[in-house]
Structure 1
Amino acid sequence: MWTLHTPDELRRLRAGLGEIIADAPWTDEDELADVPERMVLVASELATNAIRHGQPPTEVRLLRTEEQFVLDVIDHDPETPPEPTEADDFDSGGRGLHIAQRLSLDVGWYTTDNMSKHVWASFPITEPSAAG
């Protein structure tokens, strides 16, 4: 898990996440070879949103099922739902949720009783072949 307070800490998130998912069974020939890059970009976008619009600290977790990786980005402002904005070509921000929706399998959010908001995005996992 990564705990972030400022945008300056996003570099640490990207590097750490990149190291962890580099060990997953990705192959250059695989149609899912770009998933690690997409995961790092989506993690950065969702964490940036949480830092800018949520209550600190922002926490980012990487979860794994047999079929998917799930990025879970947590902030402590359950009263403000994540909403995609209408950004025009000249805006420098406002596209984080749009990017997450486009690059992941699914995106969602929920709140918990401990005053946390979780925004998550899921990604497919490729498993090594049994013949290998």
Structure 2
Amino acid sequence: MGTEGATAVPSEGRQVRRLRLDGESGVVPLARDFTRQALYAWGWLPAATADQRAAAEDVLLVVSELVTNACLHAEGPDALFLSCDNKVIRIEVSDRGTGQPAPRTPHRAGRPGGHGMFIVQRLCLDWGVVRTPGVSGKTVWAELGAPA
């Protein structure tokens, strides 16, 4: 995996990493591998307990869902931004799309597709969308609690 577009950014009390995805192929596995490396660097992996392993798997699943949504609904992701302190990991995926992600209502567990934002909503402490006035696109963010 090339890391030309990856950066580690020091921040007070927070560990931050950014990966440029614009124009890359295989962005979902690329984003998962990048996130897995960050989880190892930040001590979430290797997991010592089942709860820690589940927390790391939840982070990887949310990254997959947000990047996949950008691929399916927003012409692909521009960047993945991860930040972590002792309590919360924040995932941000930016894209050029104009749509508004939302869990499909009503959620139908037995139907294929449409589960991404429902999964994000269920696994995360919070999530949302940030738009910058005058700039096309958006950033979809989600936050998960750090394992005990």
TM-score by length of 1: 0.79
In the TM superposition, what whole-angstrom CA distance separates every residue of 1:52-94 from its partner, at most 9, and x where no partner exists? 11134432111224421100011112x3111212454131x21
5+ residue gaps, structure 2, are: 1-18
1:34 aligned counterpart, secondary structure: helix
Q: 2:102 aligns with which of 59, 83, 89?
A: 83
> Conserved in 2, the CA contact under 8 Å of 1:60 and 1:72?
yes
The 1:50–1:57 alpha-carbon spacing in structure 2 relative to 1, beyond 3 Å, is: closer
The 1:22–1:95 alpha-carbon spacing in structure 2 relative to 1, beyond 3 Å, is: same
2:79 aligned counterpart, secondary structure: strand
> Conserved in 2, the CA contact under 8 Å of 1:7 and 1:48?
no
Displacement, 1:7?
A: 7.1
Q: 2:83 aligns with which of 63, 67, 77?
A: 63
Q: Distance in 1 between matches of 2:77 and 2:25?
A: 12
The 1:110–1:19 alpha-carbon spacing in structure 2 relative to 1, beyond 3 Å, is: same
2:83 aligned counterpart, secondary structure: strand
Q: 2:114 aligns with which of 80, 94, 106?
A: 94
Aligned residue type for 1:36: A
The equivalent of 1:72 in structure 2 is 92
The equivalent of 1:44 in structure 2 is 64
1:33 aligned counterpart, secondary structure: helix
| Highest RCO, 1 vs 2 (Cα 8 Å, sep ≥ 6) | 1
- Pairing 1:117–2:104 present: no
Q: Distance in 2 between matches of 1:106 and 1:118?
A: 14
The equivalent of 1:130 in structure 2 is none
34-43 or 81-90, which moves further after superposition?
A: 81-90
2:82 aligned counterpart, secondary structure: strand
Q: Distance in 1 between matches of 2:91 and 2:125?
A: 11
Displacement, 1:118?
A: 1.1
What is the number of residues matched between the two proteins? 125
The equivalent of 2:21 in structure 1 is 3
Aligned residue type for 1:83: A
Aligned residue type for 1:81: Q
TM-score by length of 2: 0.71
Q: Distance in 1 between matches of 2:77 and 2:41?
A: 28
> Conserved in 2, the CA contact under 8 Å of 1:2 and 1:13?
no
Displacement, 1:125?
A: 2.5
More strand by share: 2
